[in-house]
A = this chain, B = another copy of it.
Amino acid sequence: MSDRIYTAGLVIIGDEILSGRTHDKNIAQIATWLQVQGIRLAEVRVVPDVIARIVEAVNALREANDYLFTTGGIGPTHDDITVDAVAEALGVPVIVHPEAKAMLERYYKSIDKELTEARLRMARVPEGAELIPNRMSGAPGIKIGNMHLMAGVPHITAGMLDALTGTLEGGAPLLSETIGCWTPESEVSEILREVEKAHENCQIGSYPFFREGRVGANFVIRSTDRDALNSCVDTLCEALGEEGLDFTPGGI
């Protein structure tokens, strides 16, 4: 396992997210999956179904990160333009992938339907691409260079992530521990700052909440180093205890 940090960018393509109609579930799903692969999600952009805007986001994030993922826009309808946008970003033509076409033929035959012109759209890929299997519906995701083009419907995205599990090189996973405390975070901000400063391989995030009529906060300590993480957790618990505060390891 190397010390190098691997990062990914995510481009979510879809007017339905920007209109507020659909609540995004893919950011959290992909972020959680990436953590397990030892890859950090470094930035997400949500862009509309407009080729130029997709090209811009894809080019910015594929160059800045080890990996790029996209969700949305790879279906059979006229608003599915991700393949065209990525081909444009790479300066390559769009082709029909023979294996994808064969997969779609088998799939539609198995459910006694025809492979229409519209369905064949789902076999279009930027030239040079490989396929990402999709157990859910026969229409594959697409891998080209450091990019992974996936479906927007979360359970289909999940199937594609499953197919990619263990195939991407990552680094040490980012470990985290949470400590919850029924205190306004402003009461303990000095403690948090000092404990973080004393543990240079750890970051502490403070996430306030309001529940059951009371305020509290969860403090999340993150590190790739298990020993540093444990030491930071111990120091923080000790400091909170000295203030007479009730804290809950594992979070509230």
Q: How far does the alpha carbon of A42 sit from the alpha carbon of B57 in the complex, in Å?
A: 13
Instruction: Determine the residue in chain B with the shortest Cβ distance to A120.
Output: B186
Partner of A28, one of B20, B44, B48: B20
Cβ proximity bits A37-81 to B, threshold 8 Å, 1 near / 0 not = 000111111111100010001000000000000000001111100
* A118: interface (CB < 8 Å): yes
* A131: interface (CB < 8 Å): no
Which residues of A13-37 are within 8 A (CB) of B? 15-25, 27-35
The segment out of A87-95, A202-210, A228-236 that lies at the interface is: A202-210
Copies in the complex: 2
* A199: interface (CB < 8 Å): no
The reply to whether A24 and B28 form a contact with Cβ atoms under 8 Å apart is yes
> Within the complex, what minimum Cβ distance (angstroms) separates A117 from chain B?
8
Q: How far does the alpha carbon of A28 sit from the alpha carbon of B42 in the complex, in Å?
A: 21
Range for the number of chain A residues in contact with chain B: 35 or more
Q: How far does the alpha carbon of A229 sit from the alpha carbon of B142 in the complex, in Å?
A: 35
Instruction: Determine the residue in chain B with the shortest Cβ distance to A196.
Output: B78
Q: How far does the alpha carbon of A51 sit from the alpha carbon of B57 in the complex, in Å?
A: 20
> Within the complex, what minimum Cβ distance (angstroms) separates A61 from chain B?
10
The reply to whether B176 and A19 form a contact with Cβ atoms under 8 Å apart is yes
The reply to whether A205 and B153 form a contact with Cβ atoms under 8 Å apart is no
* A121: interface (CB < 8 Å): yes
Report B-chain residues with C-beta under 8 Å of the C-beta of A32: 20
Q: How far does the alpha carbon of A30 sit from the alpha carbon of B24 in the complex, in Å?
A: 13
Q: How far does the alpha carbon of A32 sit from the alpha carbon of B16 in the complex, in Å?
A: 11
> Within the complex, what minimum Cβ distance (angstroms) separates A231 from chain B?
19
* A174: interface (CB < 8 Å): yes
Q: How far does the alpha carbon of A45 sit from the alpha carbon of B17 in the complex, in Å?
A: 13
* A124: interface (CB < 8 Å): no
* A239: interface (CB < 8 Å): no
Which residues of A182-200 are within 8 A (CB) of B? 185-187, 189-190, 192-193, 196
Report B-chain residues with C-beta under 8 Å of the C-beta of A42: 18, 48
Report B-chain residues with C-beta under 8 Å of the C-beta of A119: 186
Please list the 9 inter-chain residue pairs (A to B) with the smallest Cβ-Cβ separation, ordered nearest first.
Answer: A20-B31, A20-B32, A118-B189, A44-B46, A76-B186, A78-B193, A77-B206, A77-B189, A119-B186
